[in-house]
Amino acid sequence: MEPQESQSQQSSAENNLDSNQQRISGIWENIMSFLHDLLDIREDSDRDETIEAVRKDISFQGHNAWILIFSIFVASIGLNADSTAVVIGAMLISPLMGPIVGMGLGTAINDATMLRRSLINLGVMVGLSLLTATLYFFISPMKEITDELAARTYPTILDVLIAIFGGLALIVAKAKKGTISNAIAGVAIATALMPPLCTAGYGIATGQWTYFGGAMYLFCINAVFIALATFLVCKLLRFPMVKYANQAKRKRVSRLASLIGFLVLLPSVWLFYQLYQDQVMRSAASSFVKDIVQYEGMRPNDEWDKDTQILDVVMLGAPVPELIVEQWRKKFKQTEHLESSSVRFYQGSSMPMASNEGVEVVQEELIDKLRLIQDKDIHIKALEDQLRSLNEKSKDFDILSEEVRLNYPQIASMSYAPSVNKDFITQQTDTTAVYNIIFNDSTLPIKNRLEVKTRMTNWLRYRLQSDQVTINEMKIGGASAVDPVK
């Protein structure tokens, strides 16, 4: 009985194992089926319609040419005004993608005519864009470099990734049955083909060829990787190849397309590698400053020069001993990815730390600036005192004129001005308070007017506690009526 029970248990265990394997296999098949339905784009792709749509967007004639010109003007104004919103609006209406996508598709489907038209129209597009942008920046009175312009003067590894994934999104959106205008517009904004061309025009108009070269470098990277992404997706979706009646011609066109594809791919790999290396070195330099260059009371500012591969570190605040700086230099040489680079340390100015003369010059400049600030403070205080004195005198005159109005109703108006007199014989200088009055009644007898002026003069001398008081009678036109009363 025991052998039969053992066989029965073994058989039951095998059945359980087979059942578990079937369940696991079923779960795996369900997962794979779900992922296939989720990610597969072949069934919902309209290849013939996509080819025809791309073929229509290649040409830059008529409406497309004018739309490109106007959008370049709008983008240039946005860059000049440092307005991101305006630049985005220009990218939405710009028809720049057509020739670039056509170049990748023509290579993928072995269509020599499409490839040739794409290359010609790409050259027309670039030339027209540069001409328009150069014209705008040449006549624009604002030629200062803005943040929006500066951001398009040199590409980074992130620009390559944006171009790759943007190109993938664009061709997938075009391949889908129907139209996904939002996706295409979003790709136009993300890849930012237009701002680099406008920045290159700015470089030509202002004669700054570094900006021109950097901007065209960024545009070429975007264009090349968008075309490359288009090529890969079209191959993945198995777009139908163009058929030729002549077998020899088909092979010749295929070789030409392959050669162009290789020429596009080769610089793309090189550009990607160069940008990746630069980004790695830039990150290593930033980490070195953050982790190593630390000293109490000192704040470092760093700047990395990609061309010379030199890291400049300006140390602000407390002076750092030369021994510590030398240790930092040794650690920099030992930092990974920075072995072939160099570092320069500056102590709070543009002069190197080792130069005591430079430090003294900076100190003298700071002292001169402090003196200048103190002189300005003294001058401002003197002006404030003078203004305060004038305000007080103005208040005193208001009170005095009110008293004159109440005591002497015959007087219509009164003005006041100090008069400074210089006696050339005695070399003495006196200041006399001169009051100009106008009577209400111009027909008032001279005797009465003289009496009023005499009383008023005596009253003012007592009121002001000063004998240096003179009263002039003025006519309404401003001329003196009679001799002044002193």
Which residues, 6 or more positions from 28, have their beta carbon under 8 angstroms from its beta carbon?
none
Tell me which long-range contacts 275-278 makes (C-beta under 8 A, separation of at least 24). 275/155, 275/156, 275/157, 275/159, 275/160, 275/221, 276/157, 278/156, 278/157, 278/306
**What is residue 369's predicted lDDT score, i.e. its pLDDT?**
66
% pLDDT > 90, the chain: 3
Residues 345 and 313: beta-carbon distance below 8 Å: yes
Q: Give the C-alpha distances (Å, rounded to integers) separating 445 from 316, 335, 449, 451, 464.
A: 82, 104, 6, 10, 28
Please state whether 299 falls in left (phi above 0), alpha (psi between -120 and 50) or beta: beta
CA distance 311 to 287: 12
pLDDT-derived band at 476 (thresholds 50, 70, 90) equals low
**Pick from 47-56, 423-432, 476-485: least confident:** 476-485
Residue 360 has pLDDT above 60, yes or no: no
**What is residue 351's predicted lDDT score, i.e. its pLDDT?**
44
- φ and ψ at 438, to 5 degrees? -130, 130
**What is residue 354's predicted lDDT score, i.e. its pLDDT?**
41
CA distance 179 to 259: 32
198 versus 83: the higher-pLDDT residue is 198
**What is residue 160's predicted lDDT score, i.e. its pLDDT?**
76
Residues 96 and 194: beta-carbon distance below 8 Å: yes
Residue 320 has pLDDT above 80, yes or no: yes
**What is residue 355's predicted lDDT score, i.e. its pLDDT?**
44
Residue 391 has pLDDT above 60, yes or no: no
What's the pLDDT tens digit per position in 101-110? 888 888 888 7
* Coil vs helix vs strand at 154: coil
Report H helices in 292-321: none
**What is residue 353's predicted lDDT score, i.e. its pLDDT?**
43
% pLDDT > 70, the chain: 73
293 versus 418: the higher-pLDDT residue is 293
Q: Give the C-alpha distances (Å, rounded to integers) separating 361 from 299, 300, 352, 365, 366.
A: 21, 21, 12, 6, 9
| Nearest by Cα to 280 from 225, 327, 335, 218 | 335
Amino acid at 344: R
Positive or negative: CA dihedral 204, 209, 213, 219: negative
Report pTM.
Answer: 0.54
Per-residue pLDDT averaged across 333-351, rounded? 77
**What is residue 236's predicted lDDT score, i.e. its pLDDT?**
83
**What is residue 131's predicted lDDT score, i.e. its pLDDT?**
94
Report H helices in 81-208: 84-93, 97-108, 112-139, 147-150, 157-175, 181-191, 194-206
**What is residue 237's predicted lDDT score, i.e. its pLDDT?**
83
Tell me the chain's radius of gyration from C-alpha atoms. 43
Residues 298 and 317: beta-carbon distance below 8 Å: yes
pLDDT-derived band at 127 (thresholds 50, 70, 90) equals very high
**What is residue 134's predicted lDDT score, i.e. its pLDDT?**
93
CA distance 321 to 290: 19
Q: Residue 469 is inside which H or E element, if any?
A: strand 469-473
Per-residue pLDDT averaged across 154-166, rounded? 77
pLDDT-derived band at 475 (thresholds 50, 70, 90) equals confident
Residue 189 has pLDDT above 70, yes or no: no
**What is residue 268's predicted lDDT score, i.e. its pLDDT?**
63
Residues 338 and 310: beta-carbon distance below 8 Å: no
pLDDT-derived band at 350 (thresholds 50, 70, 90) equals very low
Helix 112-139 vs helix 97-108: angle between axes, to the nearest 10 degrees?
160
Per-residue pLDDT averaged across 235-244, rounded? 78
| Nearest by Cα to 136 from 74, 195, 83 | 74
Residue 484 has pLDDT above 80, yes or no: no
CA distance 231 to 223: 12
For the chain, the average pLDDT equals: 77
Residues 74 and 199: beta-carbon distance below 8 Å: no
Q: Which of 26-35, 263-272, 374-383, 430-439 has the highest mean pLDDT?
A: 430-439
Per-residue pLDDT averaged across 286-293, rounded? 88
